[in-house]
Amino acid sequence: MAIKKSNVTTGMARMQLPSPVAAYAPATMILTHVCCEAVATADILELAVLPPYCRVISAELIGEGTGATTFTVGLMSGEFGSTDPARTSGNELFSAVAGNALQTASLVSLAALGKTDAARSIGVRASAAIAANPATKLHLRISYATGF
């Protein structure tokens, strides 16, 4: 098992994420991961980060060229950016959803997520291996806010 990185979570290329400037004012980001590197079924893709003190208020997921592969998306254990292979990824946002159709996180799932004082990684696990192919993409639109 390996921790794969997106362009949001990779070292010096790490993008600065928008952070809510006022309580209850949501920040929204659209993340696209291009599969230039193969992802095995045991791998976790560290796709995004949820800033400290923020709660997810909406999330949508869709893949391009992913076929019948399903995806499980949730919060990762351990520190943001760590490559420790012992890290795990939960299913708080999506649990085994089809990648070839637009998926929206349920309100019940989002309401169950709390906030913490540390940045948290959002991880993705695929049900099938994904070959390295620039035409294969995974898109996540996520909105989050402080103050809840």
Residue 71 Cα to chain centre, angstroms: 10
Q: Which helix (H) or strand (E) holds 122?
A: strand 120-126
Distances in Å between the Cα of 92 and the Cα atoms of 21, 25, 136 are: 25, 22, 24
Q: Indicate the range of 24-33, 83-92, 135-144 predicted with least confidence.
A: 24-33
H helix and E strand count, the chain: 1, 9
For residue 28, pLDDT over 60 is answered with: yes
For residue 105, pLDDT over 80 is answered with: yes
Q: Indicate the range of 6-20, 35-49, 91-105 predicted with least confidence.
A: 6-20
Classify residue 131 by burial, with Cβ atoms within 10 Å: 0-12, 13-18, 19+.
exposed
Q: What are phi and psi of 57, to 5 degrees?
A: -110, -15
Task: Give this prediction's pTM.
Answer: 0.90
The pLDDT confidence band at residue 20, using thresholds 50, 70 and 90, is low
For residue 15, pLDDT over 80 is answered with: no
The pLDDT confidence band at residue 18, using thresholds 50, 70 and 90, is low
Q: Do residues 141 and 47 lie in contact, with contact meaning Cβ atoms separated by under 8 Å?
A: no
In tens, the pLDDT along 47-94 reads 999 988 899 999 999 999 999 999 999 999 999 888 899 999 999 999
Closest Cα partner for 88 from 139, 46, 116, 130? Answer: 46
The pLDDT confidence band at residue 108, using thresholds 50, 70 and 90, is very high
Tell me the two tokens of residue 99: 């990648």
User: For position 71, what pLDDT does the model report?
Assistant: 97
For residue 14, pLDDT over 60 is answered with: no
